[in-house]
Amino acid sequence: MTDRPDRNGLSADELAAELRVFLAEHHPGRTPPATVPTAAAERLAFQRTWQATLFDHGWAAPGWPRRWGGMGLPLRLQAVHHREMALARTPVAPSRIGYIVGPSLLAYGTEAQLERFLRPLIRTDELWCQGFSEPDAGSDLASLRTRAVLDGDVYRVTGRKVWTSGAQFADWMLCLARTGPAGSGAAGITALALDMHAPGVNARPLRDMTGGAHFAEVELDDVRVPVAYRVGDENAGWAVARATLGHERSTSLASAGMRYRRVTGDLLELAQRRGRTDDPYDRDALARAVTDARLLEWSGQRVLGRVLEGGEPGPLASVIRLQHALFEQGLHELATDLLGPHAALAASEAHLAAGGKQDGAWLRGFLRTRASTIGAGTAEIQRTTIADKVLGLREVGR
């Protein structure tokens, strides 16, 4: 894969210009909105086709090593890449979880695993889900009960996972399972790459209040996983989990900061259409939204820089996760306030909404972001981590 285009030597302006040419020729567009598939399976296929186009032309995974199909760009050029994609309103990546799992594979996977998994992951020929949460082990992963018993050259996995994003569409799961004795806590957990098409896997979608099914419950009944697909050492899966959660809470949100800069532009346009830009209260709220979007973008770049230098996101991941959750909830609350009664119109009835055709999407975003302070560790977990690891308050109180 080293024959892929090397754009490391380009200036920011040169990279932006080259990317704009590519987008002008290949971007599938998002308007008119009616042409964008709305059914989940169709929308996923649309996004996978776009991701494959990016990969085939050497524009996917800007920060990942070129050896594995990424672009290997330095941070300053990654920012350009994310900015141009956001401004062009390109389809979002269909497998955000895959881009969270990938860095953990790079850090803990074997050479054979990297050869097997990374290319189809980046191109989204194969989708991943993250099998962490369980009915009795949500934020407290150390108490998970799914068991993996070594039997020759395979692990036999039995248990149940829940709130597993995209599991019904996934080909692979990064699964945490207990291999140590009961009560061994974090020290008895192993990470496995589990084939979601293997016998014994049953994923059932969970409907949420947006009307969609973004999560699933997954039953694992004596699923056989080759030892060769163990990620890291046996009983050392906690480190893999921490790395994965760190990337989920930080680096995966780096591009979101760029995207939200564009979304706040949409918010300002909405306020203008609704005649709400002269009110001092509204002006203050809009200014805060724009400012917070920029802070989120800069925070993402800060932690990306740390990772690119070989470090881990560390406690900063909790800062960014909390910052992101509160920001996107506040953003959509402000949008629905600006819309007033029109906010109650569903996205499918957007033609009834006053003004723009996309107004119904704000309500869907409002409902979706109610879960932002729960997923990937609750806001309370993030605040505790910040208090302990960033501010050192536990030591102060001793």
Angle of CA points 295, 96, 161, to nearest 5°: 120
Q: What share of the chain is helix, strand, coil (3-state, %, to 5)?
A: 55, 15, 30
Measure the CA–CA gap between 194 and 201, rounded to whole angstroms: 9
Element (H, E) at 301: helix 280-308
Pairing of strands 189-195, 154-161: unpaired
Provide φ and ψ at 160, rounded to 5°: -145, 135
HEC string of 132-167 equals CCECCECCCHHHCCCEEEEECCEEEEEEEECCCCCH
Measure the CA–CA gap between 225 and 101, rounded to whole angstroms: 18
Give Dmax over CA atoms of the chain in angstroms: 71
* DSSP three-state, residue 285: helix
Please list, in sequence order, all residues whose beta carbon lies within 8 angstroms of the beta carbon of residue 189, skipping any fewer than 6 positions away: 141, 142, 144, 176, 177, 178, 179, 180, 235, 237, 238, 241
Measure the CA–CA gap between 151 and 208, rounded to whole angstroms: 38
Provide φ and ψ at 93, rounded to 5°: -60, 135
177: closest CA among 139, 216, 206, 220? 220
Element (H, E) at 370: none
Q: Is residue 248 flagged as an active site residue? A: yes
From the candidates 248, 297, 312, 328, give the one annotated as an active-site residue: 248
Concatenating the DSSP letter of every residue in 328-363 gives: HHHHHHHHHHHHGGGGGS-GGGGGGSSS-TTHHHHH
Give catalytic residue positions.
248
